[in-house]
Amino acid sequence: MKTFVLTILTLVFSYQISAQKIQFKRVCRNGTSNNLYWQLNPDTCLLYSTITLVGSEPASSFNSIDSGITTASLQYTHIAANIPTKKDWKYFLQYRVICGADTLLVRTDTLSVDTSRAEPTFLDSVSINPITNTVSIGWSSNKSPDFNSYYLYNAEKPDPRLAENYLDTFYLQINPPINPKNGSLTYDIASADSCDNRQVYNSPHKTIWLTTKIDTCVNDVSIAWTSYFGWPSIKMQYLYRNLNGSGYVLYDSILPGLNAYVDKTVQNNSSFEYFLRAVKLDTARYISSSSNSALVLSGKSIQPSNTLINYVSNNNANKLEIEINPNPIANYSAIDLYRFSGSQSPAKIYSFSPGETLYEDLAASNQSINRYFLVSKNTCGQTADSSAQSNNIVLNVNESNGLIDLFWNRYFTWNGGVKEYIVFSASGATLTDAINFTALKSVLLDTFINDLPAIDNVVCFYIEAIENNNTTISKSNILCHIKVGQIYFPNAIVLSGTNNHFTFKGLGIDLANSSIQIFNRWGSLVYGKQNITDGWYGTTTDNIQLDEGVYVFIAHIYQAGVINTIHGNITILK
């Protein structure tokens, strides 16, 4: 009988130490609760009934926590285990197995809450693919016994978490939150054990950010970059260049500590793309990091040339107007307009804005010849081109024995020259009437015309120059010939008669541009008006009928371009 009992005890002990049915794996703290994990080992024994969880707080004996855990369960949550504070619990599982004809009570190993962390993981490098501008991150494998996964972080993301529970040792960030061409990007890594206890990450790496700038005046490319951050030292830096899309080639080696380079071998009208590769000072391994790529387009700006003045002409407001024609393929920083007259030195009067082609010279008199030319500056602010001079047409009129002679200066602006000059005229009783201009005749390339009859009191003229093989015109000033004669006015008006208003008559009078003031015998102003075309009907300015009597007037009568001041008396009769 003693021999049999000894045999049974030996079998139970042998089962417990050789292959437990339940292998208790770990205990992880999860806030106020603890999570317990185990696994079932395959063997010929079967779990019987339920599993019992036994636990102990510090300085306490073991007590059953739950004796009804199903045999199909592989984990258990000990709820509120850490209330009111964290506690260093210890646990073991107890269960029964049926092995053959025997039923055995088995107890697992005792485990404490896992508070240890996996060994830290450090990044080897962060690099940018210069062709795709994607970010690749690499690191060495973590060899901690309880290592479970990696956590990657990108500081520029609103949420810095880049990858969680990651198992590989290489990560490709295809869609970074910030384009690596716009600034340096910061990355870090943390390792976690099976309880997700993570190492604090505090060894960031920063990408190399490369920028370029081209001086189009001399075609030098200035290249600058930020240093790679994350290595204790750099062995060497290498600059690569891609000319016109032919592929990257090593262009130059650059010593550590330098962060700028000037490429002085830039060809005109070409594309240049650069990136920098830094190599870590490491005798055991070759570790490198590449920057983003940056593209520049070379080729000196097309120098301003053939910048033309389209025309100098009088516009509808009878002001000088200048239209220019920039070279559409040239690059300008400024187009300046200069003017001079007679023996004056040229003076800049205007700078055209980009896209602007028209300027009205309000300060110039169209009764005198003004000469204009353009000075164009390239993108570096250097004078690169001056246009030919251009001038306005100034018309002059002479009258002799009732015949009118016209003469004007030759117009020069167009490369093709002038096709013809056309004389336009308008006539009427007053200047106000002489507004309907019609072409009188073409004089081809002459700059005069003689013996034109003065067919009306007022005859006005202007000249148009027509460009050869084109339709561009330049218009001269308008000049009028006015017949001058005696100015007549009545000395009385009869309000009830036919001569019931006061006005002025005579050749060449322009009443629209004349004025009058009328005073009573005590010297008070009773009536005043500009433009006296309608005459005066014996009223005040407010249209109140005045009494009979003698009134004094002062009139300023515009006649043939001259203001005549006339004083007199006028009597109102009923």
pLDDT reading at 18 higher than 70: no
Q: Would 487 be classed as within a structural domain?
A: no
Residues 60 and 17 grouped into a single domain? yes
Residues 314 and 333 grouped into a single domain? yes
pLDDT reading at 300 higher than 90: no
Separation between Cα atoms, residue 357 and residue 322, nearest integer Å: 8
Separation between Cα atoms, residue 434 and residue 417, nearest integer Å: 31
Find how far residue 208's CA is from the centre of its chain.
26
Residue where a domain stops, chosen among 180, 206, 232: 206
**What 3-state class would DSSP assign to 532?**
coil
What is the reported pLDDT for 19? 61
Q: What is the pLDDT of residues 455-475, one digit of tens each?
A: 788 889 999 999 998 889 999
What is the pLDDT averaged over residues 173-198? 89
Residues 509 and 455 grouped into a single domain? no
Place of tokens 């199903």: 70
**What 3-state class would DSSP assign to 357?**
coil
- Categorize the per-residue pLDDT at 1 as very low, low, confident or very high, splitting at 50, 70 and 90: very low
pLDDT reading at 3 higher than 60: no
CA angle 30, 168, 113 (to 5 degrees): 20
Q: Would 410 be classed as within a structural domain?
A: yes
Q: What is the pLDDT of residues 43-54, one digit of tens each?
A: 889 999 999 999
Would you state the structure tokens that stand for residue 291, as one six-digit string? Answer: 């920057």
Residue where a domain stops, chosen among 206, 223, 238: 206
Total tally of structural domains belonging to the chain: 6
Q: What is the CATH number of the domain that holds 277?
A: 2.60.40.10
The answer to whether the CB of 184 falls within 8 A of the CB of 206 is yes
pLDDT reading at 10 higher than 50: no
The residues, any chain, with a CB within 8 Å of residue 279's CB and separated by 6 or more, are: 234, 235, 236, 237, 238, 286, 287, 288
Residues 11 and 87 grouped into a single domain? yes
Residues 472 and 399 grouped into a single domain? yes
What is the reported pLDDT for 381? 85
Separation between Cα atoms, residue 373 and residue 324, nearest integer Å: 10
Range of the domain at 107: 2-112
Tell whether omega for the bond before 84 is within 30 degrees of 0, i.e. cis. Answer: yes
How far apart, in Å, are the Cα atoms of 222 and each of 84, 219, 236, 278, 480? 64, 10, 20, 19, 65
**What 3-state class would DSSP assign to 6?**
helix
Q: Which of 275, 257, 282, 128 is nearest to 205 (CA)?
A: 128
Q: Would 445 be classed as within a structural domain?
A: yes
Place of tokens 């050869």: 468
What is the pLDDT averaged over residues 428-447? 87
CB atoms within 10 A of CB 173: 20
Q: Which of 294, 283, 477, 441 is nearest to 369 (CA)?
A: 477
Residues 275 and 324 grouped into a single domain? no
Q: Would 272 be classed as within a structural domain?
A: yes
Q: What is the pLDDT of residues 121-168, one digit of tens each?
A: 999 999 999 999 899 999 999 988 889 999 999 999 989 999 999 999
Amino acid identity of residue 369, one-letter, is: I
What is the pLDDT averaged over residues 256-271? 91
The answer to whether the CB of 164 falls within 8 A of the CB of 191 is no
Residue where a domain stops, chosen among 93, 112, 131: 112
Q: To which H or E segment does residue 307 belong?
A: none
Would you state the structure tokens that stand for residue 392, as one six-digit string? Answer: 């306005």
> Rg of the chain over CA atoms, in angstroms?
52
**What 3-state class would DSSP assign to 252?**
strand
Q: What is the pLDDT of residues 504-519, one digit of tens each?
A: 988 778 898 899 999 9
Q: What is the pLDDT of residues 335-394, one digit of tens each?
A: 999 999 988 899 999 999 989 999 999 999 999 999 999 999 988 888 889 999 999 999
Q: What is the mean pLDDT of the chain?
A: 90
Residues 96 and 28 grouped into a single domain? yes
